[in-house]
Chains A and B, each alone.
Chain A
Amino acid sequence: MAVIDLANPTRFLSLVNRVLPWLALATLIVFVVGLYRAMGAPDDYQQGATVKIMFLHVPAAWLGMLGWALMSVAALGTLVWRHPLADVAGKAAAPIGAAFTFICLVTGSLWGRPTWGTYWVWDARLTSVLVLLLLYLGVLALYWTAEDPGRGSRAAAVLTLVGAVNLPIIKFSVDWWNTLHQPASILRMGGSAIDPSILAPLLIMAAAFTLLFFTLLLAAMRNEILRRRVRTMRLMQAREMPA
């Protein structure tokens, strides 16, 4: 099967039905390994056992941002090429990205209280991630409330592309402004500043979260394609009914 064939929703559905069970199994296995390694990781010399929150917080933050980046590519597909599968991908990714961003904010808050002495502070990193969550909710509102799905999709795609400006702001906020949030310690020039005994479980958990993200995304895309088929069939049924 050529990659271009996947642009056909029927062929895409057939591929998803074959791939999804294996992807779900891989997600489960990597999560079990990741959680086992996370629970066995040593305490941090400053933060103690609260460093275990990092194994949830950091992957959730990455996937919250990855979700928006994927939606931005999908938005280009919707606006430039008007491809229905691009719109399906954008709509399916929005609630999943929002959920990961929510996890990032809540776990960050629960990590902040014992570490910084406060659940929340309006610094650039925390505020820009909160803005990301609000942007996700805005896109979802456009998708879910538009009377004409096509118009709602185009409006959501425009908001997605405008909101993509927030991604570099989130990433570099800790460098551009003086923040309570620590600067980058994993993806930075000069390599990771984290000890391998903590970095290894973090990367395994990041892989598990990424697999979970794509498992949910494919499942949600499959549901969205089926929902559009239902809508089409109902419209045809309504047209064929005698006046």
Chain B
Amino acid sequence: MNLGPHADFIVAAYAVTAFVVAAMIAWVTLDHSAQRRILGDLEERGVTRRSQRGEP
């Protein structure tokens, strides 16, 4: 594939997009792990939400 005389601009555009998309995926993935971990810690310490208290 020949990207012509402006190949640098094309490659830069795809690289920036790939970086931003990867950053967004990393953000939601890491944030999910962090929230699950904190919730697990709180539940281990016996902290429950009001809606969970009625559950057996």
Interface residues of A (CB under 8 A from B): 10, 39, 43, 48-50, 52-53, 56-57, 60, 95-96, 99, 102-103, 106-107, 110-111, 113-114, 212, 216, 219-220, 222-223, 226-227, 229-230, 232-234, 236-237
Q: How far is the CA of A219 from the CA of B49 in the complex (A)?
A: 22
Q: How far is the CA of A164 from the CA of B9 in the complex (A)?
A: 32
- Assess the A229–B49 pair: CB atoms within 8 A: yes
B contact residues, total (Cβ < 8 Å)? 35
- Closest CB-CB distance, A11 to chain B, in whole Å? 12
- Assess the B38–A230 pair: CB atoms within 8 A: yes
- Closest CB-CB distance, B16 to chain A, in whole Å? 5
- Assess the A107–B25 pair: CB atoms within 8 A: no
- Closest CB-CB distance, A85 to chain B, in whole Å? 15
The prevalent SS among residues of B at the interface is helix
- Assess the B49–A236 pair: CB atoms within 8 A: yes
Q: Which residue of B lies closest to A56 (CB)?
A: B17
Q: Give the residue among A52, A60, A216 with the most B Cβ atoms within 10 A.
A: A52
- Closest CB-CB distance, B40 to chain A, in whole Å? 10
- Closest CB-CB distance, B29 to chain A, in whole Å? 8
- Assess the A226–B4 pair: CB atoms within 8 A: no
Extra inter-chain contacts (18) besides given A49-B3, A107-B17, A114-B5, CB under 8 Å: A52-B3, A53-B10, A56-B14, A56-B17, A99-B20, A110-B10, A111-B9, A111-B13, A114-B6, A114-B9, A219-B32, A223-B35, A226-B35, A226-B36, A226-B39, A229-B49, A230-B42, A233-B47
